[in-house]
Structure 1
């Protein structure tokens, strides 16, 4: 009898433990970690290069032979403890959790980590606002995070879902940087079209006051993109010059190829910036020329009105001995005199070339 009571109590305690800690039970059964908080998406990269999207509300198995890409929303406070307790090197974890707002790229034993600048993604397109993508990469794991939705990470997710194949995590990181360049390239095309439209209107003498504000906005955007590209170019040029022979092949990044593409894109952005500056100056010159023309016209009108003004001033003096005061047609003579003075002034200015 006592043994039956003891067995019943053991069963109740076991059921209570199961109900109280279901995550631990799932972890014990499947050998996987509990669901990771703060995940935006997760992919497993198989040996054949294919990518498998993983559900973020379920445990992710880390003991699998494939490689993982975990992308976090760093504004989610629940993600920070998981990153802080991960197996990444301490310096990489510190950078992922930091608020650094400058681009950087570091290489240590068995890990590459850094911060890239990217354009913020709106619902359906890229914006002109910039934000930062933080990442840490080992041979079998790529952990990335952002505080705002970014274009490059989302574009890479879509191409992976579309069947794009990556050989390793370094290839995946290169694809993310390629998407950064693609986004900037599309933005440069958009800026170029706007600048072309403004140039056509300036050449057609159809300048409007808002065109100068638009040129200022376009030039400011070009300056921001140039600043972003300059930082990326410097990072990959430095990485290309570094000795990375100690890294495993899965962490080798084709830095020279990426730097070459970024150089060409930066050259295009600089050209757009210079075009916008020159058009802004040309528009300012046109506005100044138009203002000078208006002032010239006003000066001519003022000069033509000075002689009749003088005559009316003379006849308006309340003094004795004024001419034509006793003549019946005095007003007509005064009007004729004023008209004659205007004609004489007109002929004088025309002869001296003021009207040219």
Structure 2
């Protein structure tokens, strides 16, 4: 192992041991090295978190480094256990890159199902959990779209610069990975736009509900406004108030309050404001 590490270019070794978070893919006369992002895999399954895979591939060796368990590594490990054997270390790296896209595809299918559920529930009624679930789904579509776009540009730059190398380690076939990324990115853009439209509909529903609540509050305030005025008048601590010494003053006052509120309610009903 140490002999192979000595043969690695300084740039490849530094990138393998670095903590940078920028995705990149480089070809050297002796090896292929870079950093790729992937979905984090835990015991409970695929998560929404992103992790980084640092790797160096030579003709005889593939070195990887990561802080978290990644979906691509777990999928390749299971395929190796099932008996599948890649022809070379660059072929093994191709399998890892393809499994990166497989994880994103699996997550895109889950996002599509989640948006279907949200859309069906939104047609029936706007529940309290829909805005949070929709915001979470849209945030994930934005993150995955950014991930796929970066990987597409990284592979495009790699394909443009790989002809400058002369070693055999650059036999990495990226055309099928690039095609898969293009297709997935289009799907993710469609999911992102769909989530954006659903979020706009949720905003309109919430605005409409707020307007209805404000209208109801305005109607209630308007109906009881005359009653409040009459109560304020009879509540003034001054002399000469009508019905002050009349035993039936309370009943007469209550009749005035109810009558004034009823009159305002009838006027609003005739104007059609209660049907809006």
Q: TM-score with structure 2 length normalisation?
A: 0.87
The alignment status of 1:233 with 2:152, answered yes or no, reads yes
Residue by residue over 1:6-31, the C-alpha shift from the partner in whole angstroms, topping out at 9 and shown as x without a partner, is xxxxxxxxxxxxxxxxxxxxxxxxxx
- Summarize the alignment of residues 64-75 of structure 1 with structure 2, pairs less than 5 Å apart: none
Q: Which runs of 5+ in 2 are unaligned?
A: none
The alignment status of 1:221 with 2:140, answered yes or no, reads yes
CA distance in 1, matches of 2:3, 2:38: 22
User: For residue 353 of structure 1, what is the aligned residue in structure 2?
Assistant: 272
Would you tell me which structure has more helix in proportion to its own residues?
2
CA distance in 1, matches of 2:49, 2:244: 78
User: For residue 173 of structure 2, what is the aligned residue in structure 1?
Assistant: 254
Residue by residue over 1:306-348, the C-alpha shift from the partner in whole angstroms, topping out at 9 and shown as x without a partner, is 12222333344443262x5576654444333333222221222
Aligned equivalent of 2:18, options 82, 86, 98: 98
The higher radius of gyration belongs to 1
User: For residue 209 of structure 2, what is the aligned residue in structure 1?
Assistant: 290
Following superposition, the deviation at residue 181 of structure 1 comes to 0.5
Q: TM-score with structure 1 length normalisation?
A: 0.69
Following superposition, the deviation at residue 157 of structure 1 comes to 1.5
User: For residue 31 of structure 1, what is the aligned residue in structure 2?
Assistant: none
Check 1:147–1:166 CA distance in 2 against 1; reply closer, same or farther (3 A cut). same
SS class of match (1:244): helix
CA distance in 1, matches of 2:163, 2:241: 106
User: For residue 343 of structure 1, what is the aligned residue in structure 2?
Assistant: 262
Q: For the Cα contact (< 8 Å) 2:27–2:162, is it kept in 1?
A: no
Q: Which runs of 5+ in 1 are unaligned?
A: 1-35, 37-81
CA distance in 1, matches of 2:149, 2:41: 21
SS class of match (1:163): coil
The alignment status of 1:267 with 2:186, answered yes or no, reads yes
CA distance in 2, matches of 1:83, 1:100: 25
- Summarize the alignment of residues 180-191 of structure 1 with structure 2, pairs less than 5 Å apart: 180-191=100-111
User: For residue 142 of structure 1, what is the aligned residue in structure 2?
Assistant: 62
User: For residue 96 of structure 2, what is the aligned residue in structure 1?
Assistant: 176
User: For residue 54 of structure 1, what is the aligned residue in structure 2?
Assistant: none
Residue by residue over 1:174-208, the C-alpha shift from the partner in whole angstroms, topping out at 9 and shown as x without a partner, is 11111000111111112222222222222211421
Following superposition, the deviation at residue 137 of structure 1 comes to 1.6
